């Protein structure tokens, strides 16, 4: 009896978490799977009619879907690259200063405290070509361009993403930098290693796990970008800045193509599920 209770005790401990995940993730997932195989509108949302894989065929052959997919992919790759690069540079450059004045960390983290929607509204005002202060300053130097119009709009959106989320990459990398033993670096210097040698052969290898985590999290988050792009451009002009999240939102709420929107969301889930499972297996092996 005692051994039986011990055997089942571990299941009792994880039961609340399993129940929570079942309610918050399991039910919506099953509902979305059903809708992705159904002909459904807001009027028939409680009685969907199964039609097979038609929505998946429509999504995978849709130029609009693939245009949104590749825009999101390129946006995420460029934003992630510069966020991690700047985060690494800031972490190394500011480490001596932050060791003495830790309060500065609060100011560096400020962009993370701002909601992406509010960030979009702020830049909509700052970059307004008639009253925006940034546009006014550019015009003082004879530069008459609107950063919210082609061909500048994509670069503007990526820059806003980088400005807001570089502090996240910085925080992850800076925490790894703090864990590197000073004795190891001191021993390398005594053995004659140059500053570049210490950086390249000790600091970078020690930071690789932190850099990988920061890059993975930021890539996934940037790929799902929605808020500030929707506020600034609504996905336009045309479909020039339509991310995959905006494509799904418009299909669902504006075009009432619920099955198509859910099928696109399921494709997005599968795309990220594969690298997530692979990453978790690598982490648990260690």
56-84 pLDDT, tens digit per residue, is: 999 899 999 999 999 999 999 999 999 99
CB 231 within 8 A of CB 117: yes
Q: Where are the beta strands (DSSP E) in 131-268?
A: none
Q: Is residue 154 predicted with pLDDT exceeding 80? A: yes
Residue 140 tokens read as 């003082």
For residue 282, give Cα distances in angstroms to 168, 206, 215, 275.
23, 17, 16, 10
pTM of the model: 0.84
Tell the residue number behind the tokens 């799902």, with chain if given.
224
Residue 230 tokens read as 């929707």
Q: Is residue 218 predicted with pLDDT exceeding 80? A: yes
**Which pLDDT band holds residue 282 (cuts at 50, 70, 90)?**
low
Average pLDDT of the segment spanning 274-285: 70
pLDDT digits 0-9 by tens, 231-250? 888 888 888 899 999 999 99
**Which pLDDT band holds residue 269 (cuts at 50, 70, 90)?**
confident
Residue 109, helix vs strand vs coil = coil
Q: How far apart are CA 72 and CA 158, in angstroms?
A: 11
Q: How far apart are CA 253 and CA 263, in angstroms?
A: 14
Tell the residue number behind the tokens 């500011």, with chain if given.
94
Q: Is residue 228 predicted with pLDDT exceeding 90? A: no
């Amino acid at each position: 009896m005692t051994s039986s209770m011990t055997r089942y005790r571990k299941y009792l401990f994880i039961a609340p978490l399993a129940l929570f995940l079942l309610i918050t993730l399991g039910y919506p997932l099953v509902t979305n799977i059903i809708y992705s195989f159904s002909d459904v509108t807001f009027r028939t949302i409680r009685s969907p009619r199964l039609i097979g894989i038609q929505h998946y065929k429509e999504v995978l052959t849709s130029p609009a879907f693939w245009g949104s997919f590749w825009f999101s992919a390129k946006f995420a790759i460029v934003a992630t690259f510069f966020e991690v690069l700047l985060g690494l540079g800031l972490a190394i450059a500011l480490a001596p200063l932050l060791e003495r004045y830790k309060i500065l960390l609060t100011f560096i983290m400020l962009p993370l405290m701002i909601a992406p929607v509010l960030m979009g509204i702020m830049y909509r005002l700052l970059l307004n070509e008639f009253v925006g202060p940034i546009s006014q300053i550019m015009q003082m130097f004879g530069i008459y361009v609107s950063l919210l119009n082609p061909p500048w709009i994509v670069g503007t959106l990526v820059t806003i993403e980088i400005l807001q989320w570089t502090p996240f990459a910085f925080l992850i990398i800076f925490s790894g930098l703090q864990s590197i033993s000073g004795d190891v670096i001191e021993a390398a210097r005594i053995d004659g290693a140059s500053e570049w040698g210490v950086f390249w052969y000790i600091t970078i290898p020690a930071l690789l796990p932190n850099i990988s985590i920061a890059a993975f999290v930021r890539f996934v988050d940037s790929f799902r970008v929605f808020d500030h792009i929707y506020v600034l451009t609504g996905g336009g002009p045309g479909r020039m800045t339509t991310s995959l999240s905006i494509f799904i939102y418009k299909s669902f709420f504006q075009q009432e193509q619920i099955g198509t929107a859910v099928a696109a969301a399921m494709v997005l889930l599968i795309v990220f599920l594969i690298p997530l499972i692979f990453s978790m297996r690598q982490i648990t092996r260690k």
